[in-house]
Structure 1
Amino acid sequence: MIEPKEQFADVSVQRLAKVYAEALLNAAEAAQAVDAVLEEVDSLIDDVFRNDARLEALLAGAAVGRKIRQVAIEKAFANRSDKTFYKFLLVLNDHERLDLIRPIRRALHDLSDERARRLRVHAFSAVPLSQEFQDRIKAVAHDFFKLEPVLVLHVDPTLLGGLKLRIGDKVYDGTVRTRIDNLRNQLIERSSHEIQSRRDRFSSAE
């Protein structure tokens, strides 16, 4: 999952990350390994770095030299990573740009979605959304943006019922907002109904 700190990098960092991401995506397409590369970069950040923060600090920091980082990359990834992604890590190391791996991941997903005419829609709700609501959100996104929606679900109990959608870094209003608000209101009504039903069942059981 793409984390908040990957979403709001400095503009100059975002631009540079996009250059590297485009180079990686082009190489992955040439090798017919786009899915494998996307899985590798996600696994590196979501699994490897999350379980070993010291490795991320080693690769991204300036405390050790390039040769030492290269040895660490070869030891950690040479025999377990997609070759395209492995070579890309070596290139980043040569250019002293391993610290960009997180914004590169974000840019890589954005470019991949753009080329495949996909739209990544992040849905935040207080409770897990039913399949019906997921389908409605996808329909709204498809109707307005004419792209294939990819729904990414987040459960956030602090929302206290309701629905919040994020599509890229933009805020949408007008008819789009109206239809989204309709979905949100329906979810609130359904949540309230479920809570009342539970109260009624509890009262009748006493």
Structure 2
Amino acid sequence: MFESEKSKMIKDHLIGRGIRDARVLKAMSSVPREKFVRERDKLISYADTPLSIGWGQTISQPYIVAYMLEVLDIEKENRVLEIGTGSGYEAAILSRLAKEVVTVEIVEELYKDGKRKLENLGYENIEVVSGDGYRGYKKKAPYDRIILSAAPTDIPENLVDQLAAKGKLIAPVGGIFQELILLEKDEFGKISKKRLLPVRFVPMVRE
């Protein structure tokens, strides 16, 4: 039922806006976004817009998800840390790009729902963790790639510490005004920072 809407989203809102990474496009084509939205929003699953998933959180706009994943340049053997599981949509896409995905969610209801949903849909290389994203998840560190799906006012030092050498971290950062930031760590641990574009994400929640 949703295949034509998904194809239109890929063609018009991703390729049409400059997304070129074939692996990202394939991964996003393989994940049924309608399974990750609320029942009342299923008919607009593939609109290029964020949608509420309850508890003050959203499922991100497909274009922004694709843009962030393209910038991260995830490799097949990578371990990825996602902060903010939400509905599980982005984790599902990440699982098609990386060897292993660890995703952290602070809202207990979303943690339980996201974990159940991802398991029921057969995503096996994802570990869903209940916890404070500001702390990251040290148990599985270091991570080759880190992606934040909510905006802190500053990038948490714990996450920078848990980033592997030659790793990349992407995050929306700010309060009322936010911008997408890319951090890269070289083989000596030195960090470089690049400002990418203005964005609007829900604030990152702390314990």
TM-score by length of 2: 0.23
Higher helix content, 1 or 2: 1
TM-score by length of 1: 0.24
The structure whose Rg is larger is 1
Higher strand content, 1 or 2: 2
Relative CO higher for 1 or 2, CA cutoff 8 Å, sep ≥ 6?
Answer: 1
